[in-house]
């Protein structure tokens, strides 16, 4: 399928102000949701509001990695999801599996699918976003589009459903930059609902959580190389 290129919109006034809400960490107390496990790996459904890995502050030590390690002390980190993003995360159970999976992520050999609800009516049925990203240093951890110094960042998208004030999208990231999907949706002119970093007030108030979910992850199994896909149904 040929993905049409998508034009870039300038950041809205909320983003130009650099305003960021203070981070108040209230991790959910939901039990672990194991999607798949075998001798080499474990895939877990991360809930929105839980850190993937511990933060620097003592009160930010509760995270998916720590909770999982309490039951599976051998686990090794492969990748991360943003704190407000839910969905599929994979952990290795031995060093060989970690190396194998790590190379797949590094060489972009995995396939990821996300579901997002964004503000407004998105024009067209599909598109390709190719906008380089870099840290917005004075406002970190926010990211921004920068054609001079940004790293290549690419996302394909398709419309799933149009609603009265919002659009449900399927997102296919081709790269894995920090906040990539959130900034790319903002650049489309359609921020993700509930995004405390990038959404304007109406989009922010439209949902109590970031409506971004890592629905599926497809990869080659470290033992044998068979293609494996794990799916977590979208909760919103």
Report the C-alpha gap between 33 and 38 in whole angstroms.
15
Question: Which residue has 């699918």 as its token pair?
Answer: 113
Annotated catalytic residue within 39, 82, 125, 136:
82
CA angle 21, 119, 187 (to 5 degrees): 75
Size of the chain, expressed as the number of residues it contains: 236
Q: Is 66 helix (H, G, I), strand (E, B) or coil?
A: helix
Task: For the beta carbon of residue 168, count every other beta carbon within 10 angstroms.
Answer: 18
Residues 119 and 219 sit within 8 Å (Cβ to Cβ): no
Taking the C-alpha atoms of 85, 90, 95 and 99 in order, what is their torsion angle to the nearest 10 degrees?
A: -80
3-state secondary structure 73-117: CCCEECCCCCCCCEEEEEEECCHHHHHHHHHHHHCCCCEEEEEEE
Residue 166 and residue 207 in contact, taking contact as beta carbons nearer than 8 Å: no
Residue 136 annotated in active site: no
Annotated catalytic residues are 82
């Amino acid at each position: 399928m040929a993905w049409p290129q998508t034009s870039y919109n300038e950041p809205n006034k909320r983003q130009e102000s650099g305003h960021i809400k203070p981070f108040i960490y209230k991790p959910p107390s939901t039990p672990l949701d194991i999607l798949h496990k075998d001798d080499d790996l474990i895939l877990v459904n991360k809930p929105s509001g839980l850190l993937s890995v511990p933060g620097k502050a003592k009160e930010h030590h509760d995270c998916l990695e720590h909770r999982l390690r309490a039951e599976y002390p051998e686990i090794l980190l492969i990748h991360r999801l943003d704190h407000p993003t839910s969905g599929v995360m994979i952990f290795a159970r031995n060093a060989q599996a970690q190396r194998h999976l790590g190379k797949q992520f590094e060489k972009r050999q995995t396939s990821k699918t996300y579901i997002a609800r964004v503000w407004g009516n998105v024009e067209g049925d599909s598109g390709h976003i190719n906008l380089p990203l870099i840290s917005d240093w004075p406002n970190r951890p926010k990211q921004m589009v920068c054609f001079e110094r940004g790293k290549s960042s690419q996302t394909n998208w398709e419309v799933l459903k149009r609603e009265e004030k919002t659009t449900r999208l399927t997102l296919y990231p081709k790269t894995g930059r920090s906040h990539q999907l959130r900034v790319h949706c903002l650049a489309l002119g359609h921020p993700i609902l509930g995004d405390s970093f990038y959404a304007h007030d109406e989009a922010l108030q439209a949902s109590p959580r970031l409506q971004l979910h890592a629905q599926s992850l497809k990869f080659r199994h470290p033992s044998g190389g068979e293609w494996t896909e794990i799916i977590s149904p979208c909760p919103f």
